[in-house]
Amino acid sequence: MQINILSNPEELGARAAEAAAAWLNACIESKGKARLVLSTGASQFQFLDSFVRQPVDWRLVEMFHLDEYIALPAEHPASFRRYLRERFLSKVPIGYAHLVDGEGEPEAVIAKLEAEAAKAPFDLGLIGIGENAHIAFNDPPADFQAGQTYKVVALDEACKRQQVREGWFGSLEEVPEQAITMTVSAIMSCRKIISCVPHLAKAKAVSNALGNEITPDIPATILKRHDDWSLFLDPESASLLPIRS
């Protein structure tokens, strides 16, 4: 585990984007392509702004989408498909993007994603941490044992409140009850994981993830078990950590 504390969200995003691009380029150089798992959310804005400007041959990158609400239209402001199209896919000539179709029949959507995911390992996972310490939509208590790549999950109250607080929905009642998410085991299968976690709202989740034993009740604790996990913080998200000399 490598912890990086940068001066502000913009510097955090820039340094994480450089690290992510360097890894993708190394994968492309060694095997001619790279497979990327990409997260969304307000905490990823600065990272994506820098990431799309990195010198990567995006035509050789295959992207997998982490999660999507079930039955939410693709043009809804909170749709992660819309988010990715506006903030990533419209800005780089990606080789191929596997988006999670929340409007499709969930079993069929998952079967298609599973088939594509099984073709090769994921090289890089860009995995955020939610205010309830979820990773993707694996809310506590998270299923660490699920063997599949994607699954249907119910969203907990804390997760829904975060979506409303960030302005994606006008009320709790508007937040969908379920989503399709990449599982914890699939996330952990990524050869390298980079987590961009800025802002004061994430300070408790960061402190809980780093300060506790690995437990499904704090899903992000599992990331400490990964052999190559880099965590990028700013002073606000790191504010509840022990003072580092």
**What's the confidence (pLDDT) of residue 93?**
98
Whether the CB-CB separation of 38 and 66 falls below 8 Å is answered with yes
Q: Please report how many Cα atoms fall inside a 13 Å half-sphere around the Cα of residue 147, on the Cβ side.
A: 0
**What's the confidence (pLDDT) of residue 242?**
86
Count of structural domains within the chain: 1
The pTM of the full predicted model, rounded to 2 decimals, is 0.95
Q: Which amino acid is at 47?
A: F
DSSP helix/strand/coil, 58: helix
Whether the CB-CB separation of 166 and 42 falls below 8 Å is answered with yes
Q: Which CATH number is 71's domain given?
A: 3.40.50.1360
Answer whether residue 241 is part of any domain.
no
Residue 195 pairs in a beta bridge with: 231
**What's the confidence (pLDDT) of residue 244?**
54
Closest Cα to residue 43, out of 9, 69, 20?
Answer: 9
Answer whether residue 239 is part of any domain.
no
**What's the confidence (pLDDT) of residue 137?**
95
Rounded to the nearest 5°, which phi and psi values hold at 33? -165, 170
Answer whether residue 244 is part of any domain.
no
**What's the confidence (pLDDT) of residue 142?**
96
Q: Which amino acid is at 140?
A: P
Whether the CB-CB separation of 64 and 100 falls below 8 Å is answered with no
Answer whether residue 61 is part of any domain.
yes
Answer whether residue 145 is part of any domain.
yes
Answer whether residue 245 is part of any domain.
no
Answer whether residue 243 is part of any domain.
no
From first to last of its 245 residues, the chain has per-residue pLDDT tens of 999 999 999 999 999 999 999 999 999 999 999 999 999 999 999 999 999 999 999 999 999 999 999 999 999 999 999 999 999 999 999 999 999 999 999 999 999 999 999 999 999 999 999 999 999 999 999 999 999 999 999 999 989 999 999 899 999 999 999 999 999 999 999 999 999 999 999 999 999 999 999 999 999 999 999 999 999 999 999 999 986 54
DSSP helix/strand/coil, 82: helix
Q: Tell me the residue ranges of DSSP E strands in 46-156.
A: 61-65, 67-69, 96-98, 124-126, 150-154
The whole domain housing 223 covers: 2-233
**What's the confidence (pLDDT) of residue 182?**
98
